[in-house]
Copies of this chain bind each other. A is one copy, B any other.
């Protein structure tokens, strides 16, 4: 392997830069040239390439976002588009591709190898923690801490009976962020896509908490389960609570990555290059029990990651 490429794709996540840095520096230390592809698959098709040296990635580890930028590229679902991409990679002498991103991005990578025989390694990078076979994806830990910090500030503010704070967090198909942030901030309730919302039960729970003497009332809602406004309307209607709404939005994708995300990203970046070097491809780097292991891309992508329901039970037990 003389030359590889690296890209970030899909929604960005804190720690992607640390992964890029590790890919570039480990490759350079192994005499492998690295091309940075800007803006994901869209940039690949546009040949928006940049040569990356050891010094190109200095001072980026601590930065949120991705220096290579990212984008969605709907046309990459078409086989002809992918064939085009493969030609471009071949033209530039690129013998392997590392894709850092979420499920959609890994799908693109999988097809590039299946159809076009480009050796690919995927690195899971998404704040949603919805990728199967890896305990954590890059960005999840930072996102969690951002959400926890925000909810903690809500807990400071003047509590009063008959008022509820509704916090809408990311998670289209996964309630991981809502469940864990709710658990570790002692939120009174969570609303997640994995469990159909029962507004009657939700209202009753809040009334019961109040009877127990609690004056705080925080409900964490995953965007994929309901909108904060819908939850607010139900609470106002059913139990007569005033509500206050916080929608964190994309601040959850930003921020300097935590130590955990930097370490995970550094290890995955190094491992991805090592895999390509040893001829291992069509895999994702996965964190399993503290170790980075390869998992076949088709297995990753046909499995839906399920939420550990123990987390949800813990919230109910401890708050």
Minimum CB–CB distance for A116 against chain B, Å = 26
Scoring A267, A270, A288, A314 by chain B CB atoms within 10 A of each residue's CB, the highest score goes to: A314
A interface residue count range (under 10 / 10 to 19 / 20 to 34 / 35 or more): 35 or more
Residues of B within 8 A of A82 (CB): none
Q: Is B157 a contact of A253 with CB atoms below 8 Å?
A: yes
In chain A, positions 246-265 with a C-beta closer than 8 Å to chain B are 246-256, 258-260, 262-263
* Bound Cα distance from A70 to B160, whole angstroms: 8
A180 and B263: CB pair below 8 A? yes
Contact A244 B250 (CB under 8 A): yes
Q: Tell me whether A266 is interfacial, beta carbon within 8 Å.
A: yes
Asked whether A246 and B244 contact (CB < 8 A) given A157-B253, A253-B157, the answer is no
Q: Which of A50-104 contact B (CB under 8 A)?
A: 54-55, 58-59, 61-66, 69-71
A22 within 8 A of B: yes
Q: Chain B residues near A173 (CB, 8 Å)?
A: none
Which of these, B58, B62, B141, B154, contacts A259 with CB under 8 Å?
B141
B259 touches A180 (CB 8 A): yes
* Cα–Cα, bound, A132→B276 (Å): 33
